[in-house]
Amino acid sequence: MGNLVRLPLLFAFVFLCPNAGGLWGQRITDLKNKALEGDVDSQLQLGFVYSKGPREDRKEALYWMTMAAGKGMPSACRYLGFAYLEGRGTAQNKNLAKKWFAMGSRKGDTLSMIGLAECLSKQEERIESAAWLHLAKDLGEPRSLWRLEQSMTRLNAMEKTKAKEEAIKLKTTLPTGSSRQAPEPFVMKKSSLTLQDGSSYRGATQNELPHGFGERISPDGEIYQGSFQEGKEEGYGTLFSPQGLIVYQGLWSKGNPVDTLPETEKEKPKID
């Protein structure tokens, strides 16, 4: 079956204990601090936290999942595949869906294989689509069975043989049990900076500028946590008041919240 992510017991504790909200809020803060430092497991957990439930925010889920997928987490690749295929938290993009499904599939994630097969089928690449479904079936994925049956009805005898042969070849390219290792730890170049306006910054940098995920604290106590590009807020981020209240949460472009920009100046920020 597809790789399952075992989330901490704290998830169950929070949903069963209404008074655990403060504890869970601290847990989120801890996860974001670790994610800021490049911890892929924290990035993945944040992606799932924001993908559904009371904290659902599909755009933020997409942001964290993209970070985790970039480090090779199969379940994050799968999430992005379906997000782009169905338009969850982003515009539909079949090419990006195929890209992320392919990455997850190459790492042995059987649910990614099902998603990839769907993308290939829509592109009329029927033999390759059937091959991935064959492989998912051989790896014990029950959700591939009826899809494979439907797929095979569209192939002639020669195409069915080619699909089975292709599945055998694909299987040899997958990581084996002994080589199926966790992604390499990501060591982010993390710095603490004092910016020109007097703000303090901690997070990823490039050319001595905030670049990547980080936290900026202004002289009056406002806090921004999120993505930066070349020193400016860009992508997904949250701005907090000095009292800790959320002032704005969402997409930013060139240092400004997208929703507050004039319509003519709005651009779709990059989510790297």
Beta partners for residue 214, in sequence order: 203, 226
User: Nearest-5° angle of CA 105, CA 111, CA 113?
Assistant: 40
pLDDT at 21: 43
Work out whether strand 190-194 and strand 200-206 pair parallel, antiparallel, or are unpaired. Answer: antiparallel
Query: Can you tell me the mean pLDDT for 250-265?
Result: 68
> pLDDT tens across 51-107, in order?
888 888 888 888 889 889 988 899 999 999 999 999 888 888 999 999 999 999 999
43: exposed, middle or buried (C-beta count within 10 Å: 0-12, 13-18, 19+)?
buried
Here the tokens at position 203 are: 């997070």
Residue 129 has pLDDT above 80, yes or no: yes
Residue 271 has pLDDT above 60, yes or no: no
Q: How confident is the model at residue 189 (pLDDT cuts 50, 70, 90)?
A: low
User: If residue 204 lies in a helix (H) or strand (E), which one and from where to where?
Assistant: strand 200-206
Question: Of 177, 179, 214, 187, which Cα lies nearest the Cα of 199?
Answer: 214
Q: What domains sit in the chain, N to C, each tagged with a CATH number?
A: 10-173 (1.25.40.10), 190-265 (2.20.110)
Residue 14 has pLDDT above 70, yes or no: no
Which amino acid is residue 73, in one-letter code? Answer: M
Min mean pLDDT across 36-45, 71-80, 139-148, 177-186 is at 177-186
% of the chain at pLDDT higher than 90: 42
pLDDT at 29: 75
Min mean pLDDT across 118-127, 186-195, 246-255 is at 186-195
Query: Can you tell me the mean pLDDT for 262-270?
Result: 43
Of 87 and 9, more confident: 87
Helical ranges in 71-214 per DSSP H? 74-86, 94-106, 110-122, 126-138, 145-153, 157-173
